[in-house]
């Protein structure tokens, strides 16, 4: 199973002086760090996959972006996620995103 760096409130977590890691798709906690990475990352940040990334930080403090939900949906589906629910709420200067998705893993 793939591992991913853990962060909370956009702060990377450390343990014993090193990055703290967890399963990328942690079914026990309901957190999918891989999906969070895709939403937070700007296009071009993953040099192996330059088209991956939603770049949510550009939506913060900006006008309501009608294509943001569609871009999140597209990016997650392209990465083999099955989306059960997705909401994007613009609340003042914040953007609240709720995603209910599972990774489709073919064996």
39-83: pLDDT as tens digits: 888 888 888 889 999 888 777 666 667 788 889 999 999 988 889
Q: Which residues of 39-74 are buried (b: 16+ CB within 10 A; e: fewer)?
A: bebeeeeeeeeeebbbbbeebeeeeeeeebeebbbe
- 0.75 surpassed by pTM: no
Given this model, what pLDDT does residue 39 score? Answer: 86
Residue 94 has pLDDT above 90, yes or no: no
- Confidence label for 92 from pLDDT (cuts 50, 70 and 90): confident
Domain ranges for the chain, please list them: 3-103
* Fold classification of 3-103 (topology level): Nuclear Transport Factor 2; Chain: A, (3.10.450)
């Amino acid at each position: 199973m793939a591992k991913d760096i853990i962060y909370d409130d956009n702060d990377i977590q450390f343990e014993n002086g090193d990055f703290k890691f967890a399963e990328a798709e942690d079914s026990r906690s309901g957190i999918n760090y891989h999906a969070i990475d895709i939403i937070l990352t700007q296009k071009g940040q993953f040099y192996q996959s330059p088209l991956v990334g939603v770049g949510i930080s550009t939506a913060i403090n900006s006008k309501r972006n009608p294509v943001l939900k569609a871009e999140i949906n597209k990016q997650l589906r392209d990465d083999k996620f099955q989306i059960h629910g997705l909401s994007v709420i613009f609340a003042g200067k914040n953007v609240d995103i709720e995603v209910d998705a599972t990774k489709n893993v073919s064996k």
